[in-house]
Every structure is written in structure tokens, then in C-alpha cells.
Amino acid sequence: MQIIKQISPALAVIGLVMSYGQAAQAQGSTTSAEPKAYIDEIVVTARKRAESLQDTPISITAFTAKALEDRQIVNVGQIAEFTPNLTINTSAAFSGSSSTPAIFLRGVGQVDFSLNTDPGVGLYLDGVYISRAVGGLIDLVDIERVEVLRGPQGTLFGRNTIGGAVSVTSKAPTDEFGGRVKLTTGSDNRIQLQGLLNIPLGENLASRIALNYHKRDGYVDRPDGVSLGDDNSFSARGTVAYAPSDNLSFVFSGDYTTEREQSAPFILTAIDPAASFVGFHNAVIAPMIDPSLALLPPGPPSACFIPTTANPACFNAASVSVGVPGINQGTLPSMSNLDVYGLSLTTEYNFNDNITLKSITAYRDLDSLSSNEADSAPVAINSTSDSFIYNQFSQEI
């Protein structure tokens, strides 16, 4: 095992993996050669410049295209499974939309998904800020890398990065013709079809397009036959790159996503009689539905507060089946519809080796309609419907 001892401590893990094959080779050779082990260099742009991950003085987790594929990560929400200190709830609290990520880094984030609030962790697609949580569950198709930057990043990414930033960079077009198609199947009748095509259009001009179709049945059933938590989406991303000279380049990109899914999955596991919505319903609404539930003082304001009262108008353990695994008893019409598209133009001019001017001009448009029945019960206690129409224009130099 002399070979292992020659490897530095920083490469000990790699050395252990390599040791068996190297030792066998050394035994069959009359000369002893020192094994070479190395860590692949990952280039990031966390500081708005291309540099090695090992040389970047920021707490950062980066995923290359191969790392994303090896881990079968298909959208932004799944990177939390492999990133320390990162939590992503793909449906923010009280949101029925299945594409409203609530991102938290080191415990800092934002659960409110309304249009007048900014996320606590900034999300960026090719340098363009995704300013609202709704529609932020980006499909990671044909992606160059994903960078997760911990801690405030206001100096380079703006004020909306109190908890950190998640930066997604798509692959740029190349001067070689090529493409691929990938089909994935799985449980719950999952079908995911991905395709990409790179097309050179001329000298210093190239284009690239990526498509993604994902369909999967839901896993939380309702008595009316609806299954919540399904996937039914289509997304496309196209890029055209033009470099008329060594110093000047233009990159025009567009992306589009449409979803027609059921509401986000919720399951009722417990009832708190002291909760505001529960108490108000049992004290005021239930006696209006069924007058026989009203009790005069000194008794309780409603018979619903008696745990054994099994009246359909009440919201208590006796009237609602609680904790049934995988069952949602909601009656509100279920929907999670989304249409979002974005356009961006990135212009870069290199004056010399030390000075570069870069402009990112972008427009994004969002149309979302979703419903949420957080009580998950046949009694209407807490249910909402949200309709969002939003557009943004951004300019960064």
C-alpha cells in the first residue's frame, strides 16, 4: 500500500477508490510510477466573472450538467436534496400552485407568495432575476450549471438576496451540429421526454433549443376522483448566439412554460380546536348551517366544541376523518394552471483584458390560476383561489 501513502491527505478519498487497480498494476511492473489523482475543475460565475470554484471565496455549492443528470435532478426544487443548508418547498404555504417554490438558505427565506412580496432567496436564470415565487420552479433541461450561494449577496446580485442566491445557467450554443433525446419512465405512470438540438447557422452564429414534457399521475386522492400532486407540464428554451468579432457578442434567449395540473397535495393530520379558522367556524358558521348545534349559555356557543359531536357541519375529530394516509377530502375545484415566458438579450463587449461592458435586458410575463383547500376536509374552513397576472422588465449593466 505504498501507493496510497504517497497521495496527499486532501486526495485520500480518491486514493482509496483508486488503490486496488493501481496496486495490481504496480505488482506487474518493474518500475514504480506515482499515481495521479485530481478533482475536476468547476467554473462558476458567483462573483460575476468566470473563475474556479476552488478559488471563489464564497460559501457555494455548484452542480455541473453531469452532476444534475447523475442525481436525476429535473427542476430547481430537487437541488435542496443535495445542498447543505438549503430547503425548498415546491408549494409555498397556503398556495395551491405546484410551481411556487419557497426557498430558504440557512433558515432565511420567505413563505409569502403574493405578488407584493419579494423572495428571501434570489433566483436567477442566465443572469435574469426571477422576481416572484409563482412560476419559479424552473425545469433544469440543458443546463450548464447551478450555483447556490449562501449568505447575503447584495453587492453583486442586488438587495433581494438576504438569504442567498440560486443561479441557473443554461448551455450556450456551439458551432457543432448535434442533439439528443431522452425518455424517462417511472411509477405513477410517469413519462418525461426531453430533447435538445444545437444548430450552427453560419460563421459566428449558432442556435440551441431544448424541450421538456413531463406527465405523472397524482398521489393524494380525493373522493371525487381527483388526484393531487400530479405533473403535466411542457417547457421550451431557445438561444441564439452571435459573435461578430472577438470583442463583441450577443446572446438572445427565450423560455416558455405551461402547466395544467391539479392543486398542490395537502393531507389533514390533526385538528386544533383553538385555531382561529376552526374556532370561528364551529362557533359561528356551523350553527348557521344547522341551528340545532347552537347552545345557550352557560354551555359552549356551539355543540361542535363537544368532541363527540359528529355533525357534518362541525369541524372536529368526530365529524372529519383525520389522519387517513394519502386521502384529501376537499371539495373546492382543483387547479394549478400556469403560463410563463421570458425573453432576454445579453450583450458583452471587451474593451481590453481588464475592462468588459455587459448588458442584460429582459422581459418576463406570468399568468397563473390556482386553488388551495388547506383544511383538506369536506367542510369549507380554509380555502382560497389565486389569480396572478404579472410582468416584469429588467435592465442590468
pLDDT of residue 322: 79
| DSSP SS3 for 2 | helix
The residues, any chain, with a CB within 8 Å of residue 114's CB and separated by 6 or more, are: none
State the cell numbers at 36: 495521479
Pairing of strands 43-44, 51-52: antiparallel
Q: Which regions of the chain are under pLDDT 50?
A: 1-32, 37
According to CATH, the superfamily of the domain at 44-170 is TonB-dependent receptor, plug domain (2.170.130.10)
Distances (CA, A) of 209 to 51, 195, 200: 27, 8, 12
Burial of 159 (0-12, 13-18, 19+ CB in 10 A): exposed
Question: 231-242 and 102-105: which strand pairing?
Answer: unpaired
Using CA atoms, how far apart are residues 165 and 168, in angstroms rounded to an integer? Answer: 10
Which residue ranges make up each domain of the chain?
Answer: 1-39, 44-170, 178-267+329-396
* Contact by Cβ (8 Å): 336, 263: yes
Sheet holding 128-129, edge to edge: 60-64, 143-150, 164-170, 121-125, 128-129
pLDDT of residue 7: 36
- How far the first Cα of the chain sits from its last, in Å, is 56
Neighbours of 240 (CB within 10 A): 18
Report DSSP letters for 308-339, one per residue: T---TTS-STTTS----TTB----SPP-EEEE
